Chains A and B, each alone.
Chain A
Amino acid sequence: MTMNHRRNLANRCNALKSTGPRSVAGKRASSQNSRKHGLSSAPVFESSLEYQALVELITEEGFSAFACADIAAGLLNYRRVMDAYYDTYTSPEPVDDFMRDMNVRASIPIFRELLSPSGSEPADVRDMAAFFAGIQRQERRKGGPVSRRSADTHKLIRYQRNGIARLSRSVRQG
């Protein structure tokens, strides 16, 4: 068992004792932890320069003012979805190599050593090993980087479907 492996395990065990952020800035930052892509929020395009430019160009094609606004918003909304799609595709949840590749059973002596100063019972060591084995199972189930990016991108399908339907409707009805 290398020192590096031992240090990694110790860091992971210590991290479990953390109770989260304490400062206001830390809390503010962590409040955004579950934010994925921001596509669920309603966008406001009307004030953007792109929107004004698009409306101007589409107006020249003989669409009514209402249709122009609708098409421009539809186009920008679709672009927003596709940009989020690209970002999700290019930055999937990273693979935790340490967790995926570690040998939990072989790490039990280290757990025992790390937990013994507090006079831990063998049950604590078993719990710790089970906890790490659970995380490892999850990590392996998620697969490699390609599986992860496919799964993450798949979650955006409904936004893409709604975005393109909105754009297509606005163009055909305009």
Chain B
Amino acid sequence: MLYNIHVSIDVDVAMPVEDKSKSLLPFLSSPKLLPNESEAEFQSGLQSLLSELDNPSPLALALVSQLNESLWWIRRHTVDKELLLHEAMARILSKAGSYSETYDNRKVSEALEHYLDGRADKDEAEWIDEILAESKLTLSDLRVRAFKDAAKHIKLVDDLIHRQHQTMRHLQRSIDSIDYKSRLIKRMDLELAALESRQSVKGVLSLDDEPS
């Protein structure tokens, strides 16, 4: 056991953390990003998490990268909640007024997306205003109705976000336990060194005492 303790500390000193992370990270934290996501942002999140750890071990690095991924998933799912609302709003609009016979959700959906982002051209904005007027709805009414319609799907996304929070809690506890373990090992090592030095001092003293 003591031998193991010494080995672990020797390795920590001999091998820089970056080298270890390089050997671990390729298959544990190669980010799988969507086409519109920024890898630099993902990496900066990871770096900021890592900066909170004092000399992290390779296992801690692996767990932190999983933690960062969970945070990233929470971000994605939060965006999805808004998109679900937009989807439901488009569905309501495409059923409204004279458009009920030509149920073209995609066209309405695109126009509405642009309208909400403020990127709609004049025609699109007029078209959406026209459908809203025809269906006797304001944008906020539409949003409320869409929320009611999409409640089931929004609940699913909330579950997904909740799951990521739970996952983060598990990972946090694991990182804490590794950190505690490494501190315990260091403390035991220090105590051992203190004991050894005390022993050697005693040995010297007893050798000194012998002649008298």
Binds B, one of A7-15, A34-42, A121-129, A150-158: A150-158
| Contact (Cβ within 8 A) B171 A150 | no
Chain A interface, >50% SS class: helix
A62 partner residues in chain B, CB cutoff 8 A = 4-5, 7-8, 181, 185
Whole-angstrom distance between the alpha carbons of A82 and B63 in the complex? 13
Those 3 A-B pairs whose CB atoms lie nearest each other, nearest first: A62-B8, A168-B170, A171-B174
Complex interface: chain A residues within 8 A of B163 (CB): 157, 160-161
Task: Tell me the complex Cα distance, A89–B182, Å.
Answer: 37
Contact B8 A150 (CB under 8 A): no
The segment from B19-27, B118-126, B134-142, B200-208 found at the interface with A is: B19-27
**Whole-angstrom CA separation of A97 from B110 in the bound complex:** 14
Cβ of A93 within 8 Å of any chain B Cβ, yes or no, is no
Is A78 an interface residue, CB under 8 A from the partner?
Answer: yes
B174 and A172 within 8 A (CB): yes
The reply to whether B63 and A171 form a contact with Cβ atoms under 8 Å apart is yes
What's the tally of chain B residues with a CB closer than 8 Å to chain A? Answer: 53
Closest Cβ–Cβ distance, residue A41 to chain B (whole Å): 20
The digit string for A122-151, where 1 denotes a CB below 8 A from any CB of B, is 000000000000000000000110110111
Residues from chain B with a CB closer than 8 A to the CB of A83 are 32
Which B residues are closer than 8 A to A by beta carbons?
4-5, 7-8, 11, 20, 23-24, 27-28, 32, 34, 57-59, 62-63, 66, 69, 73, 76-77, 80, 83-84, 87, 90-91, 101-106, 109, 150, 153, 156-157, 159-160, 163, 166-167, 170-171, 173-174, 177-178, 181-182, 185
Q: Establish whether residues B181 and A90, one from each chain, have CB atoms under 8 Å apart when the complex forms.
A: no
Roughly how many angstroms separate A78 CA and B171 CA in the complex, as a whole number?
A: 11
**Chain A residues close to B by CB (< 8 Å):** 50, 53-54, 57-58, 60-62, 71, 75, 78-79, 82-83, 85-86, 89-90, 97, 100-101, 103, 143-144, 146-147, 149-151, 153-154, 157, 160-161, 164-165, 167-168, 171-172
Chain B residues near A160: list those with CB within 8 A: 163, 167
Q: Which residue of A lies closest to B83 (CB)?
A: A146
Which of chain A's residues have a CB closer than 8 A to the CB of B90? 144
A57 adjacent to B103 (CB under 8 Å): no
Does the CB pair B159–A147 fall under 8 Å?
no
A-B contact pairs, 26 of them (CB 8 A): A53-B24, A57-B58, A61-B57, A62-B4, A71-B59, A82-B69, A85-B73, A86-B32, A90-B34, A100-B105, A101-B103, A101-B105, A101-B106, A143-B153, A144-B87, A146-B80, A146-B83, A150-B84, A151-B153, A154-B159, A160-B167, A164-B171, A168-B170, A168-B173, A171-B59, A171-B174
